[in-house]
Amino acid sequence: MYHQQLAAHRRNFVLVLVISWGLLLAGYFNSNIWVLAAGALLLNGYAYYLMQADKRLAKEKGFRVPELSLLLVAFLGGGIGALEGMLIQRHKTKHTSFRILLPLFCIAQILLVIWVIQLYLDKNLVS
């Protein structure tokens, strides 16, 4: 049973990451801020969902979402959703790695968003 759940988690994890990053890249290269925002929203929503699901599964003592998956989705663009899930759900708040890395990922992603917006505005002002 555990192996089936792990395989389903990996499949869904990869699927969401591919779709999200596809939207992010398509939005960036086509200068479509709405497609870019949809990819970011999907990634952050998925990160929040993973935190919420892992908290629920921890209470039920069932299959758990691997910590590496939680950190990886936060690193790849879902930092704000993961941090929000950690604080609202009060999940993984005692883990030093989560307390340090998730805020760092958020800061880096906010700076990246500011940079992309500046590029977008500069590109539209020149055209």
**pLDDT one digit per residue (tens) for the chain, 127 residues:** 566 776 777 777 788 888 888 888 888 788 787 888 888 899 999 999 988 988 888 888 877 888 888 899 999 889 999 999 999 988 888 888 889 999 999 999 999 889 888 887 887 766 5
For residues 72 and 78, the answer to whether their CB atoms sit within 8 Å is no
The sign of the CA dihedral 71, 75, 79, 81 is negative
What ranges in the chain are assigned the alpha helix state H? Answer: 2-29, 33-60, 67-73, 79-89, 96-126
Domain residue limits at 98 = 1-126
| Predicted TM-score of the model (pTM) | 0.83
Q: Strand, helix or coil at 64?
A: coil
Q: Contact 64/57 with Cβ under 8 angstroms? A: yes
* Cα separation, 65 vs 82, whole angstroms: 13
- What's the structural domain count of the chain? 1
